[in-house]
A = this chain, B = another copy of it.
Amino acid sequence: MEVSSVFSVLNAVGLFVFSISGALTAIRKRLDFLSVLIIAFFTGVGGGTIRDVMLGTFPVWWINDETAVGICILGAVVACFAHRFLWSRQKALIWADAAGLSVFAILGAQSALAVGAPAIVAVFMGGVTATFGGIIRDVLLNQPSLILKQEIYATAALGGASLYVGLVELGVSIDIAAITASLLTFAIRGSAILFGYSLPKLGGDIAQNP
């Protein structure tokens, strides 16, 4: 099995899990089915959409990708039918989300390098691609962003994207760089899930008087 097809499968998994996470949050807010669908869709495709818009890659990636659209719709439908079951399987969802995160971060950095963006922008774009689906979900549902609050989430994406960009600049083949870097992303995020690591929070001493 080729690397690119492994990545396609993981990308589909990420899309599916992200759209389920969007749908579940929307269901909690008691939206009706079609509103759930809209939220699920943008949670799934949102990170890559922001990336494409920033980089000027048009039309954005899902416009001609019926499979991707179908996966998001499927995620919304599955979430609507099985939301009680899915809430009880939170742990599985978090791990699948980590897989999606790992793939999205590398794909984001890859797209940026492909249009000739400098290394630091490519790293940043990895972070944006991996996190903005969730951020859009939270913005649309008017809730404080869980992504930005979550331990080592953006961090894992930026870490993995940094390794990817570094390896590519060192001349490592794209396939090997992509696999290594997504494994690193997954390892960072996975450790945070297992051991509850988090970066130090700033401003603790001023939080009392906001």
| A residues adjacent to B (C-beta < 8 A) | 26-36, 38-39, 41, 49, 53-56, 58-60, 62-64, 66, 69-70, 73, 80, 83-84, 87, 112, 115-118, 120-121, 124, 127-128, 131, 135, 138-145, 147-149, 151, 154-155, 158, 198-207, 210
Are the CB atoms of A115 and B59 closer together than 8 Å?
A: yes
Task: Give the residues in chain B near A141, CB-CB below 8 Å.
Answer: 144-145
Are the CB atoms of B59 and A54 closer together than 8 Å?
A: yes
Top 8 A-B residue pairs of the complex, sorted by shortest distance between their CB atoms: A56-B58, A32-B199, A27-B203, A56-B59, A35-B148, A27-B202, A142-B144, A34-B154
Q: Enumerate 21 A-B pairs (CB-CB under 8 Å) in ascending A order.
A: A27-B206, A29-B144, A31-B201, A31-B202, A32-B151, A32-B155, A32-B201, A33-B202, A35-B148, A36-B202, A38-B128, A38-B131, A55-B63, A58-B58, A63-B121, A66-B118, A66-B121, A83-B203, A138-B142, A140-B145, A140-B148
Are the CB atoms of A206 and B84 closer together than 8 Å?
A: yes
**Are A199 and B54 also in contact (CB < 8 A) when A28-B207, A144-B142 are?**
no
